[in-house]
Amino acid sequence: MYEDGVNLLFILVDQQRYDSLGFTGSDLVSTPNLDRLASSGVSFSRAYTPCPLCCPARQSLLTSTMPHEHGGHWNYGICSSVPALSPEALPHWPGALAAAGYHTMYAGKWHVNPDQDPRQFGYDQYIPEIPYDQNRLKPYDEQAERPLVRTPADLFSSGLYDTSPLEETPTHRLAGQVIEFIEQEAALGHPWHARLDFPEPHLPCYPVRQFLQMYPAESILPWDTYPDPCIGKPEIQRKQKKNWGVDQWTWDDWARYLRHYYAMISQIDDAIGMVHGALERLGLLEQTVVIFTSDHGDAAGSHGMIDKHYVMYEEEVHVPLVISRRGSIAPGRAESLVSHALDLGPTVLELLGLPIPGTFRGRSLVPLLEDPSAAHREHIISEYNGQQFGLYTQRMIRDIRYTYVWNPTSVDELYDHETDPCELDNVAGDAAYAAVLQDLKDQLYLDFASSGDMMVQNAWSAYQLTGRLPGEGSK
């Protein structure tokens, strides 16, 4: 599995919910190509992002460190300025591939550093994301006028579709660029790494008509997590709905939104099928590790919310993950908890036979590729440091049964996934869960404090979480 000369195709999508793909058990969305990829490798049913926000998650993916370690707390360009990850700050796995002699290319969304692009991080070629031609966007109902924009949500739920021929859409043009690179490298017989980074299905979604027609709005039924008045939960969740202007939306509004989201997922699937077909045509599937995942998820109507920010619900932190290599990775499904952005760096390097930097905090997933039933993590952690509507901080820990969210400036959250898989009932204040809650608080403190997170290391936070000041023994 680890011989020299193995290629790597890494596919990242943006804001893809775990539960909106065929291979994750969904009957909502058609994704035949990704289903085929998952059936030929190992799919991970419990992969989680270390931060449900684009820039921090992508920086963690490159460096296998948490956001509070690499310093990219939130997206650049919004809110207060924050240092962007520099190529010299921490070891990163694309640089290791370049140093090992791989030919590399990056196509699509970057969102790691506003001033330095992938070529400073080890990639030979960089093709930025391709913008939509605004002149080709039209209302799906061609008799309607272009919708008015009255709220932030209107900017991203306008009902527009791309009238371009499919091969001229941004999704398929990016895929075509990657195919050209692979064909060139195949002719040279040189080991290569291609990163295909789709900006979609992050809102706004502008699919072509053929995919929109697959999802009539009237056929899209409410999530089990909808509606949710968010009573007994942090006030900021209700404010998030108001700030976006979705607090008065009915399910008909969400169904129209989801029609575009689902259609874009199917369009991405079609583009991925093009690239996978090229690998098969060139006889490269046995020589190529293919990884598919997302940086984070999307509320998309769950709990009556849009986008992400200020929540740690499953819809935002639970992500799809597949690792495949024909003939070397046997098909399987891993059920253990995985911190995908942290664990993928060491996994890539081990699969390609390269050394793993000591700064990487992740754990290689290779043992799970060899035995999907193997144990990996007992819990995962995730963090959020504020952004769009203010600097609201969260720390989260998730084990197989429970999710605990520490909200330093609001009520805490505890969800029992066995009795409440939809996370509708916050039981943090329920005396029956007091022991569980304290165990999770203690573990959260240990995990974040051990990696130098000043948010938990100060005396006030330590007391909130553990009931002890730093340095005190157990009560």
Pair (325, 415) in one structural domain: no
Domain's final residue, options 344, 378, 412: 378
**Total count of residues recorded for the chain:** 475
Instruction: Pinpoint the alpha helices (H) of 228-383.
Output: 235-244, 251-281, 314-317, 340-351, 366-370
Q: Residue 26: inside a domain, yes or no? A: yes
pLDDT at 142: 58
Structure pTM? 0.96
CA atoms of 269 and 257, how far apart (whole Å)? 19
Pair (288, 407) in one structural domain: no
pLDDT at 257: 93
Q: Residue 35: inside a domain, yes or no? A: yes
* Distance from the Cα of residue 461 to its chain's centroid: 28
* Radius of gyration of the chain measured on its C-alpha atoms: 22
Pair (63, 178) in one structural domain: yes
Q: Average the pLDDT over 218-224 and give the result.
A: 96
Dihedral angle of Cα 224, 259, 109, 5, to the nearest 10 degrees: 80
Q: Residue 387: inside a domain, yes or no? A: no
For tokens 């997590």, the residue is 225
Q: Residue 397: inside a domain, yes or no? A: yes
Does the structure show a pLDDT above 50 at 2? no
Does the structure show a pLDDT above 60 at 36? yes
Closest CA to 233 of 396, 392, 404, 410: 410
Q: What digits encode the pLDDT tens for the residues 104-120?
A: 999 999 999 999 999 99
**What's the structural domain count of the chain?**
2
123-132, 232-241, 446-455, 464-473: the lowest-pLDDT one: 464-473
Domain's final residue, options 326, 349, 378: 378
Does the structure show a pLDDT above 90 at 397? yes
pLDDT band at 430 (very low <50, low <70, confident <90, very high): very high
CA atoms of 32 and 450, how far apart (whole Å)? 42
Percent of the chain with pLDDT over 70: 96
Do the Cβ atoms of 48 and 314 come closer than 8 Å? no
Pair (203, 337) in one structural domain: yes
Percent of the chain with pLDDT over 90: 87
Dihedral angle of Cα 38, 40, 44, 50, to the nearest 10 degrees: -70
Buried b (16+ CB within 10 A) or exposed e, 268-288: bbbbbbbbbebbeebebbebb
Domain's final residue, options 338, 354, 378: 378
pLDDT at 152: 80
Pair (320, 451) in one structural domain: no
Q: Residue 147: inside a domain, yes or no? A: yes
Q: Residue 432: inside a domain, yes or no? A: yes
Pair (240, 189) in one structural domain: yes
Q: What is the CATH number of the domain that holds 418?
A: 3.30.1120.10
Does the structure show a pLDDT above 70 at 146? no
Pair (374, 416) in one structural domain: no
Say how many CA atoms lie within 13 Å of 19 toward its Cβ: 16
pLDDT at 145: 60
Q: What digits encode the pLDDT tens for the residues 234-257?
A: 999 999 999 999 999 999 999 999
* Distance from the Cα of residue 250 to its chain's centroid: 27
Q: What is the CATH number of the domain that holds 166?
A: 3.40.720.10
Q: Residue 96: inside a domain, yes or no? A: yes
Domain extent at residue 440:
393-475
Pair (342, 468) in one structural domain: no
Pair (363, 314) in one structural domain: yes
Pair (298, 351) in one structural domain: yes
Q: What are phi and psi of 445, to 5 degrees?
A: -60, -45
Pair (300, 438) in one structural domain: no
Q: What digits encode the pLDDT tens for the residues 271-283?
A: 999 999 999 999 9
Q: Residue 388: inside a domain, yes or no? A: no
Does the structure show a pLDDT above 90 at 451? yes
Q: What digits encode the pLDDT tens for the residues 298-319?
A: 999 999 999 999 999 999 999 9
Average pLDDT, the chain: 94
Pair (333, 400) in one structural domain: no
